[in-house]
Homo-oligomer: A and B are copies of this chain.
């Protein structure tokens, strides 16, 4: 393994999520204060306070572009920085790397004193003010599994392998990791019920997803070509699209999911950049025999040659009894972003192909990431086949769906020989009521 660049922030070296090679962006303040939230990057167990570095004029040595980008971090959201685009992000990231690397540690003492905040004493906020949130359905395994439960005779619809299927989600109810999630009430009607009844969802679920944020957008009436699409994706996050399956089954025809989803979606606090993920590109799962080639506006041979996002994604469950017994969360699934049928670049190019305008900070969700094996299914609906095969937890508890007090956590990481492992932190939420 080649020698790895180290940080003078000791906790970063060997950190499972946040080594010097990651530097994900987030919005934070010191917990228990009324400070204005602001942009920082995670480094080891700490956060580098970018506005504090601006105030200390630490970016002066890096030129105008970097200073401009750093000033955009004096903000309670990443939107302004995202709107500056990819070149600006790369320049700022290079400067942050230089400030934090152990080989150029001239400012270390000053940063440590004035611009480093322990994550354990920080409050993290929604990193982005999302104008529009679109959720896709990019896992063919998820689509096939769910389809076979909702439409046994017609699991995968004929449009699936042509169209990156997506729908608009609710932006107002996006919350940051750690926010408790109230189980929604709504109309449910079983196949044998004469009429619907109203009450708390009994089939309460999570969906393990990744999200991508738009950087520079496009004007209404213009498109984003597939070859350019990746450069418009500013960064990636963890996403849990909580779902009330009983509400969904009754309401979703003909216009799609609505109250079954829009009561809350949780996103992770850290936005990981394409630069941090670049070393982990890997070949995408090959298309199945007989699958159509994507239409030209969705075809980028270069994209396929470069490979796709190679992230291992995991879901962890901890019940109230486990928490009381101080037992750790149990992993309920492990999947891979390489199993997605459509890439984020394809989702974005499709989304803008009709002239729909994207704004900085708009969020695209992958949809539930499920793989071909049972252990890689990204939601309870699939894992337990709608409750028919409940999960058996180590303490003897069983779960068909999530119950009150359950804490569900999503994680993601990238690792490979010759590169330093990076991760996304945690995207967690406890079910209330």
- Which residues of A pack against B, CB within 8 Å? 131-132, 137, 147, 150-151, 157, 159, 162-163, 165-173, 175, 182, 184-187, 189, 195-196, 198, 220-221, 244, 247, 250-259, 262-264, 292, 295-297, 350-351, 353-359, 362
A359, B220: Cβ atoms closer than 8 Å: no
Taking CB atoms, residues of chain B closer than 8 Å to A356 are 170, 172-173, 259, 262-263
Give the number of copies in the complex: 2
List 22 contacting pairs A-B, 8 Å CB cutoff, sorted by A.
A147-B254, A157-B254, A159-B250, A159-B253, A163-B251, A167-B168, A167-B255, A167-B258, A172-B357, A172-B359, A182-B355, A185-B354, A185-B355, A195-B292, A196-B295, A221-B263, A244-B354, A247-B354, A255-B256, A255-B257, A263-B354, A264-B355
B198, A159: Cβ atoms closer than 8 Å: no
Q: A295: nearest residue on chain B (CB-CB)?
A: B198
A60–chain B nearest beta-carbon distance, Å: 34
A258, B166: Cβ atoms closer than 8 Å: yes
Taking CB atoms, residues of chain B closer than 8 Å to A295 are 187, 196, 198
Report the separation of the CA atoms of residues A131 and B359 in the bound assembly, to the nearest whole angstrom.
13
Taking CB atoms, residues of chain B closer than 8 Å to A255 are 137, 165-167, 252, 256-257
Report the separation of the CA atoms of residues A350 and B353 in the bound assembly, to the nearest whole angstrom.
33
A376–chain B nearest beta-carbon distance, Å: 22
Known: A131-B131, A159-B250, A186-B354. 17 other contacts (CB 8 A): A131-B171, A132-B170, A162-B189, A162-B196, A163-B196, A163-B250, A165-B255, A167-B255, A168-B170, A168-B258, A170-B356, A172-B356, A182-B221, A198-B296, A256-B256, A259-B351, A259-B353
A179–chain B nearest beta-carbon distance, Å: 8
